[in-house]
Structure 1
Amino acid sequence: MRARLVVFPIKGRKWCFSRSVDPFAAQAPSGVTPTTVRGLWKKITSESKPVNANAELLVDFISDKMNKAWMGLEIAPEGSMKNKIHGLGLKLLARVKPSEIFLKSISKEVTSVQVSYPPSLGPRLVRRRLRHIAMSGAILHKKYLIGSVTLLPLTTAFTVLPLPNIPFFWVLFRTYSHWRALQGSEKLLKLLSNHSNPQTDDADENNSKNNKPEQDAQSPTCVFLPSEELYKLLREASEEGLDEETIVEICKLFHLNKIDVLKYRNLV
């Protein structure tokens, strides 16, 4: 599966990294993740798979349960306890950094990426910034993953209270989120690794003398395509960065999540 990534400066030195939303991918049922604990145990024990494959299956199972529980909170009656928990969850989710959301979007199903960017930046600079966010994300989310796993046993102590164990479920979600962001970071680094591309790799400066066309030199796992439409929308940006109207136009053009893109502009 090819993912379309969009990269552009949004405010000063702040850049936006986002993935185009595929409406059909979200609707396609996986049919692989078990729905019950018994089914999960049967799938793990009946098939000889490596440990990391079973870990992925367990993570997918927990993710599916969390998604169903979250949907239940969304449809809760106004003013109920579940509705209040949903409101608290939205406030906590608003604090998640957009770079984490971006890295999580690079799932294991992605086999190649197409990067759209304004031609004024150049593919080499765009690739450097993508590598930077992937490398820093791998270090950061590995550290936070270890911290979240350490906190999980501590938050189970709140189960003695006659209230939903919000700290446990929040730490469980953060553990899952950091795991996915770490996997996405490593996946993106792998897709960007291309030492035979003179357009985007400093290690092969000698190869650039061959004057090969950019399309021929591109790796099949990573293609950089400049977008004139994006460049036209960015030309009138002020020193304060892109206004919300321009951001909305970019989101419509590339099918981006407006809330995630706005987070980049408002990031301190």
Structure 2
Amino acid sequence: MKARLVVFPIKGKIWCFSRSIDQSASAFNSANTPSTVKELWKKISTNSKPLNANAELLVDFISNKMNNAWVGLEKAPEGSFKNKLHGFGLQLLARVKPSEVLLKSISKEVTNVRITYPPSLNSRLVRRRLRHIAMRGTVLHRKYFYGSVTLLPLTTALAVLPLPNIPFFWVLFRTYSHWRALQGSEKLLQLVSDYSRAQSFSSEMMEASKELEELLRKGYENGSVNEKAISDICIKFKLNKIDVLKWRDLV
């Protein structure tokens, strides 16, 4: 599977790194994830793959259940407890760093990346910065993953309270999120750090886009890219605007 990464300066010396939305990949993952415990057990018990592959299947199953629960909160009536819970969840998600979102988008199915960037940027510097994000991610998300795992038993104890165990579900989500980001870091590092491969296939891996350069030129004002230009870039290159804005608002 190919992944398209779009890189461009968004505010001062801050660059945006975002993956184009791939609907087919999402559909493929959903279709291959069991929807019930019975289906999960059947698939694991008949699976001849290594233990880590079954662990991956279990993680995907839990992730699918969490996503469905989140969609249920999103559709809750205005003013209801579930609706307020969804709003609180959005505030927590807003604190997730954009680099983590990028790394989580690089799944194990990705076999190569195509990096789109404005011609004004040096291709080697673009690749170097991506490699730095991947290397830093392997260190940070491994540390945070183990930290989140140690908190799970503590938050589980809060289940005795007559309220939804929000801390447990948040720590569970962060555990999953850091694990996915760690996997993505390792995969991205593998894809962008093989110098000989990058040299041989540079024309396939790197794509200087004049159209991206023009959109940036028209929308750059007061030291950053304005929201109109960001919207146009997101539409053209199929990016998630919320994720892109996180880079611009990064402190």
Class of the TM-score when normalised by the shorter of the 2 chains: over 0.9
Q: Is the 8 A contact 1:9 1:15 kept in 2?
A: yes
Name the counterpart of 1:62: 62
Distance verdict in 2 for CA 1:60–1:198, change over 3 Å: closer
Structure 1 Cα separation of the partners of residues 125 and 74 of structure 2: 42
Q: Is the 8 A contact 1:141 1:178 kept in 2?
A: yes
Name the counterpart of 1:232: 214
Residue 247 (structure 1) aligned to one of 214, 225, 230: 230
Map Cα deviations across residues 197-230 of structure 1 (whole Å, 9 max, x no partner).
Answer: 575xxxxxxxxxxxxxxxxx2169x610100011
Residues 9-88 of structure 1 aligned to structure 2 (within 5 Å) = 9-28=9-28, 30-88=30-88
Q: Structure 2 length as normaliser, TM-score?
A: 0.93
Structure 2 Cα separation of the partners of residues 189 and 198 of structure 1: 12
Q: Write the letter of the residue equivalent to 1:142.
A: R
Q: Structure 1 length as normaliser, TM-score?
A: 0.88
Gaps of 5+ in 1: 200-216
Structure 1 Cα separation of the partners of residues 217 and 134 of structure 2: 28
Name the counterpart of 1:149: 149
1:231 shift after superposition? 1.2
**Structure showing the higher helix proportion among its residues:** 2
Name the counterpart of 1:265: 248
Q: Secondary structure at the match of 2:18?
A: strand
Q: Secondary structure at the match of 2:8?
A: strand
Equivalenced residues, count: 250
Gaps of 5+ in 2: none
Q: Is the 8 A contact 2:192 2:198 kept in 1?
A: no
Name the counterpart of 2:162: 162
Structure 1 Cα separation of the partners of residues 149 and 202 of structure 2: 37
Please, what is the CA RMSD of the aligned residues? Answer: 1.8
Structure 1 Cα separation of the partners of residues 24 and 197 of structure 2: 32
Q: Secondary structure at the match of 2:5?
A: strand
Tell which structure's C-alpha radius of gyration is larger. 1
Distance verdict in 2 for CA 1:178–1:42, change over 3 Å: same
1:47 shift after superposition? 2.1
1:79 shift after superposition? 1.8
1:31 shift after superposition? 3.1
Name the counterpart of 2:171: 171
